[in-house]
Amino acid sequence: MSATATPMGAEPVGGLSACGSFSGKVRHISIITTYAADIFYGDFVKLVSTGTIEKDTGTTAMTPVGIFMGCFYTDPTTSQPTWNQMWPTGTVATDAMAFVLDDPDAVFRMQANGSLAQTTLGNNIAVTQTSGSTTIMRSKNSVTASSAATTNTLPLRILEFMNGPDSVVGDAYTDVLLTYVAGMHQYRTALGV
């Protein structure tokens, strides 16, 4: 059961359509050289005016373009092509490219930082931003259990609970399936970047 906090960021599992399974399709979006923040597998990212992506550090409000799934760059020390699950802060690489799951109808799994009751199904929820793990190169973000509400400005929507051998609704750290709230994903906002 989810009696232990083990957040892993946003983990893609499918799409909103009836036959929408996660196919692994990603879009390649540039990362500006020397971008000064770690980005981990499972972090939310956003497009910025430089035509590149950055980590979306929002909590109660976000404008994500998608979920970071890894990156490619030429290692500045070894000059070798490098595929990585995380972007190491400050890396000098003019060819840096992020792999982003940018589907605005994506469904993803996250763990709550507390217990969620059945009555929160269909509610919107905020994100708790936490430093990722450089050991496993994964995000450690979760959703904020205490924020679950009908508030239309919260960025994510609870679609389903992960009821199974590892998690049950009401567990100390409930696992949930989520999607973006309408108008929060950058492809679904009227205002451009």
C-alpha of 164 from chain center: 22
The predicted structure's pLDDT at residue 19: 61
**Average pLDDT of the residues in 119-133:** 97
Output the pTM of the full model.
0.94
- Give the pLDDT confidence score for residue 1 in this predicted structure: 45
Q: What's the pLDDT score for residue 2?
A: 66
Looking at residue 192, its pLDDT comes to 86
pLDDT tens digits, residue range 127-168?
999 999 999 999 999 999 999 999 999 999 999 998 877 788
CA atoms within 13 A of residue 11's CA, in its CB half-sphere:
14
**pLDDT higher than 90, residue 191:** no
Q: How far is CA 36 from CA 20, 32, 92, in A?
A: 35, 9, 10
Residues 6+ apart with CB under 8 A from 158: 116, 120, 121, 122, 123, 124, 125, 148, 176, 177, 178
pLDDT of res. 38: 98
CA angle 31, 34, 40 (to 5 degrees): 55
Confidence category of residue 16, pLDDT binned at 50, 70, 90: confident
Among residues of the chain, what percentage have pLDDT more than 90?
Answer: 82
Average pLDDT over residues 40-55: 97
DSSP 80-123: -EEEESEE-TT---TT-EEEEE--TTEEEEEEBSS---GGGTT-
Q: Return d(Cα 113, Cα 94) in angstroms, integer.
A: 37
